A and B are shown apart, each in its own frame.
Chain A
């Protein structure tokens, strides 16, 4: 006997008010908020593979809002507040665990950046503390804070409300809620081009035939450039592999999330027990969903130096997702120069944490034809005006 399906699997209709391309977290959240916040339910989410099988299945599930700049703090903190009510709202336990996120400092530059970011966060209403190495050891006893390691821990920022959630549950919860509000979720349906009426995009061609649309909204992460190019649009995006890995299941040893910009590793322990580690991006452009082993080796060397106890663990599985990096390590969410076409991309290595806010502001943008206040600073136009939101410092990994 099969358990109840969480959503229908309808055939696509010939026309919708909104076609969303990509059934990852951001696409599903967008569909949900379009239906719930804006009453727009004649919506389809098209997915070339299977629901939440791209980066939504490949991220390290870390959630935090401790970004430096006002614009970023506002949108990521909006996401945090939505996360805090999401299990209740969607009536699905997403296993949101606010166990705290440490960002370690290993150099004087790191310390100054971290203290500055703590102060900036507090001014923006984001919870943040500066911890000494002794306090780091108290908060996360398995971190080696001795001065004898290659890059000693000189302190850390702590966001107590940061943590992790279960990525699959998040996708399934949004999918079920959107489906119940009337949104069609169509898997195995690849967008191969756009239907135009003059300049305007009025639909998509797909592997299952043409579909007309009042608006087309891309939510296709690493493949955004490929799709946008089908509409004659060049995006300031470069696609790279980002690798992660898990250990076998272990007893609980790691109480929080630890990230280190300087040595390029971030690690938490999933509810089930596996250690989940992420690396920096592979430097070259790629769509192959695999990276080079030396990047993983570098990441593990850093992890072992920080966490000697990990020497007992084994790597069970490694993988890569294709991330869409932007020049300023900030997302691009808004209208495009092509009428009828919207983009939501450029989240790079950190899109999971933004999922609820990304969907929230994107739905608003599509419903009103113009950005929400929270994503107005993140438009494509900033690459003409020069008003970048340079978040490389708070983005936690190399972009």
Chain B
């Protein structure tokens, strides 16, 4: 039997990547194309959906042409930047405005207004998430309010809404000519418009945000055939779709309650599988949908988002010029044995989980003449470790699940000093898988599972191999637990500093 491959499209914030994986979960080909970032006003971030669609077609065609030897690509899976919002004309396929990206903060005022309404409690109760500009519902409201005639056209069914996977699936399956208008349940769960228990659009939430139901895509499981991508040659079944962080959880084979992954990139996203019961959160983590296999119940996850992780190292490089490449932060940090009493809280634009304090601002605490750039580099790395501990503690309080180990991926996992610090700060082993491309691997797994490339999630588990492990040192773990209140105090100060 010839080899069977799965194509994954990773539609990310800065680029669109098409990758092909074999049955062993190994990447055999990759193509990538960046798209333009539009910053029309301070705090506004936009993408051109047409450019992203063109990049998807192009990279997919290229990667299919790259394939070595005999073999057949049998399905396509999509992972996408979450919460980025597109509205387009059903008849022409043209977006009515550029996509509002998840980093865009233009809805802050709208969200403040909405949150002050007496019925605002409905949002958290039904959607499982606190009302925040981070999610796509308020962005959709903004577009309907600001694009001329948008709301009346949407009510007449002339306009369609989607996050990036919806936009790409609609185009891949024919666009104006019979395109399938669907979203997956993980992406739908990030709109604030979905009832997180029934996984259906909630009429009361739609009324709250003023969204016409006619423009919404059908909510479908993450794993299951969504349509046929006739825009590709050969035409392939689109058999999986997930938001990027959920895709990484899937790619890391975190299928059992308690299993968790953390992606260390510009920011950090920690997701812990909590099983088929929704966890009611009180401690600052978010309850979100992890994935759903067709015909099976929804699996939920707790999520902790850290806004600034690798971005702090970039600041050390570009803002301060203390290092010439991100990796050199480890070299600089290793010139000293500890942080010299120095703490850096990277609240560049507030703090996300578990604090959710938009007013917080960054600070360097504990400066003395003893502190060198080496101590500062160490404090920069430790900030990511401490923030991971903040999030893990909040999740443990919410779910009552202990963390057996933390599976990590992303660029910062080549930093041994940081990974060891995370292991010591959490007092659990930190493990890195052999395939670092967990987002696209998760999309490939979802699609391959739906069409039978893999028989079940246990087959996916067997593909997961450890590439490295950092084991906590009991003495260091004790010392860091004693030190943790210093970090918490620095966080309090950063919140106080930003208070009006």
A binds B: no
Interface, chain B (partner A; CB < 8 A):
none
